[in-house]
Chain A
């Protein structure tokens, strides 16, 4: 990179110049960077860290829906009231104890435990009977103190972008959801790109049985439609969570990168500069990753960007179906799950927030990818 810039017009300098002249690309790059800054700020806890607080009444409407900030619209007040009467039962008591909230059948579970432990049953049941969700309950029990129950009288009647069923601020939720969805998308795409690039590099460089083996694996993964493979892995993976989603998407999405990178390595390994590197004694690994890799990195970069888009979309669907982020997390997908029920009550702001956030970010990322490809590969005409 450094000696390229010293020579004046390196390939990256030229690409940057082309990119800077693409207005659509620049605007979308700005939006993508803004989104990533939001994600970083949210990760650092600067914004949206209090998203779990129930700051408003249930289904509180956005400010701009209320007539110039005066008394809440009667229509929304009626709905808010209906939601309130439900929540008020819980809030009338003082701080609920963890067992109240978390484990309504605790007593029954204890009975089962006692029955299992009784001498007559001991012989029959030698397996350890364990409450299947005990770990989750314990973890949740520790966390419950962190949630503050805000008295109804102190709750806001409306917030900037409305509130969800429990009165949590939708804007904060959307930012937190963006953090989850974008991070999952980026990590899964990174994983898939790494797998695809490494296999593609070795396959294209060595050929022979390495190539045959990699091609065989590629064919196998390619024969199963992506969504089916994703669901099959989701079915067998025991732990549901953000990490599982990343792994599922990562191990299913690498095939496109593999094909392209392999093709590039096949092309480059015969080039003069690689032979020259061989002549000065560069090892195969050095030729693969120090000499060839920078020359195919533009292909990998564009693929990574494309994969991020598709992984974000896949994460949203997985989370929607309940195979994604756990219940105490939030992503654009889980927001859509809630929004589906809200919509029947005429509550649409959560749906609008998640859709708008995802639409804007993913559109920007897609247009950015197009601009990136145009800038990096000027031979492409469309």
Chain B
């Protein structure tokens, strides 16, 4: 096990190096000279020169790359170009709000999607199954924006069931007052694709030989489904959910933007709008790292849940 973990971590190095190179290339060449972005349009040659010096842009490219790698290693991306806040500080303060929304969302959506997936696989091929799948497809075809716009207008603005937007200081008031509507809308959006995916996981298991054996022994359908099929189908479900955590954390950016939640996702949109390069660079690099680590975690859980899997 530990040999496997070490090997996997070792294999991450080239990928991580690639991510660093990609981000470095993206923000130093594709976007033009960062000094001009930072200085703004009305700037003198001296201002630009001093910014270039400050950012280390007049150094050779390899030195610049080295500076960037050092920043990544030391978790120090300096300060935001627009607010002057330390980049590490931005994440430390924005992460709790994101987690308050994404944590409950992840748990509830997984449970609900699994329950619906079991229900429709129970009646697979029937009219109900087909209709639910078509409704899911339709739900996935309507833009997430529409769900948020209409939900916020109807449930908060018109019916006053929830606050239209806002965020407090205490965890309980956030969880009970401000987070429920974003979580609810997040559920509406994410249950359809998850149900479809989990249903396909379950149907994959239903065709297996061991299920046929269980039926041949005369086991009833409920026992086959819940004891045999479900336990095996949960393995890919867990892997999927775990490895999707970093993506979901970002995916909530629209919810955070609409509801004024000071989370990581909203911070990224703001950074993109303001060309705040240090913030975007830091997010990209660390989210990539987190994605890889969570993928590894997912694979390890896979191994724990299913001893047949040989880790290579």
One digit per residue, 1 when the CB lies within 8 angstroms of any chain A CB and 0 when it does not, for chain B 196-216 equals 000110010001000000000
Q: A344 to B157, Cβ gap below 8 A?
A: yes
Q: A127 to B44, Cβ gap below 8 A?
A: yes
B287 within 8 A of A: yes
A127-B45, A220-B22, A336-B149 known; A227-B141 Cβ under 8 A = no
Q: B31 to A236, Cβ gap below 8 A?
A: yes
- Residue in B14, B15, B44, B199 whose CB lies within 8 Å of A124: B44
- Residue in A130, A220, A236, A363 whose CB lies within 8 Å of B137: A363
Question: Which segment of A5-13, A192-200, A312-320 sits at the interface?
Answer: A312-320
Q: How many residues of A contact B (CB 8 A)?
A: 58
Q: How far is the CA of A382 from the CA of B199 in the complex (A)?
A: 9
A381 within 8 A of B: yes
One digit per residue, 1 when the CB lies within 8 angstroms of any chain B CB and 0 when it does not, for chain A 289-314 equals 00000000000000000000100010
B142 within 8 A of A: yes
Q: A219-B15, A236-B31, A362-B140 given. 18 additional CB < 8 A pairs?
A: A125-B45, A127-B44, A220-B21, A223-B15, A226-B247, A228-B283, A231-B268, A235-B271, A236-B32, A237-B30, A332-B143, A336-B145, A343-B153, A355-B143, A355-B146, A358-B141, A363-B138, A382-B199
Q: How far is the CA of A365 from the CA of B200 in the complex (A)?
A: 20
A231-B280, A366-B137 known; A317-B145 Cβ under 8 A = yes
Q: A231 to B269, Cβ gap below 8 A?
A: yes
Q: How far is the CA of A219 from the CA of B247 in the complex (A)?
A: 16
Q: B31 to A231, Cβ gap below 8 A?
A: no
Whole-angstrom distance from the CB of B84 to the nearest CB of chain A? 19
B73 within 8 A of A: no
Q: A358 to B143, Cβ gap below 8 A?
A: yes
Residues 48-96 of B contacting A (Cβ, < 8 Å): 48
Whole-angstrom distance from the CB of A121 to the nearest CB of chain B? 10
B273 within 8 A of A: yes
Residues of A within 8 A of B207 (CB): 381
Question: Which segment of B103-111, B219-227, B250-258, B304-312 sits at the interface?
Answer: B250-258
- Residue in B15, B272, B287 whose CB lies within 8 Å of A216: B15
Q: B287 to A316, Cβ gap below 8 A?
A: no
Across chains A and B, the number of contacting residue pairs, with CB separation under 8 Å, is 147
Can you show 16 pairs from A to B with CB atoms below 8 A apart?
A126-B45, A221-B22, A224-B22, A224-B284, A224-B287, A225-B291, A227-B251, A231-B268, A231-B269, A316-B145, A344-B153, A355-B143, A355-B146, A358-B141, A361-B141, A366-B140
A83 within 8 A of B: no
| 7 residue pairs, one from A and one from B, having the closest CB atoms | A236-B31, A220-B18, A362-B141, A363-B141, A225-B247, A223-B288, A235-B272
Q: A233 to B145, Cβ gap below 8 A?
A: no
One digit per residue, 1 when the CB lies within 8 angstroms of any chain B CB and 0 when it does not, for chain A 54-77 equals 000000000000000000000000
A266 within 8 A of B: no
B232 within 8 A of A: no
B277 within 8 A of A: yes
**Chain A residue with the shortest CB-CB distance to B46:** A124
One digit per residue, 1 when the CB lies within 8 angstroms of any chain A CB and 0 when it does not, for chain B 262-296 equals 00000011011101010010011001110110000
B127 within 8 A of A: no
Q: A359 to B138, Cβ gap below 8 A?
A: yes
Whole-angstrom distance from the CB of A246 to the nearest CB of chain B? 16
Whole-angstrom distance from the CB of A131 to the nearest CB of chain B? 9
Q: Which of A217, A235, A320, A343 has the most chain B CB atoms inside 10 A of its CB?
A: A235
Q: A129 to B22, Cβ gap below 8 A?
A: no
Q: How far is the CA of A361 from the CA of B32 in the complex (A)?
A: 38
Residues of B within 8 A of A333 (CB): 143, 145
Residues of B within 8 A of A358 (CB): 141-143
A229 within 8 A of B: yes
Residues 107-142 of B contacting A (Cβ, < 8 Å): 124, 134, 137-138, 140-142
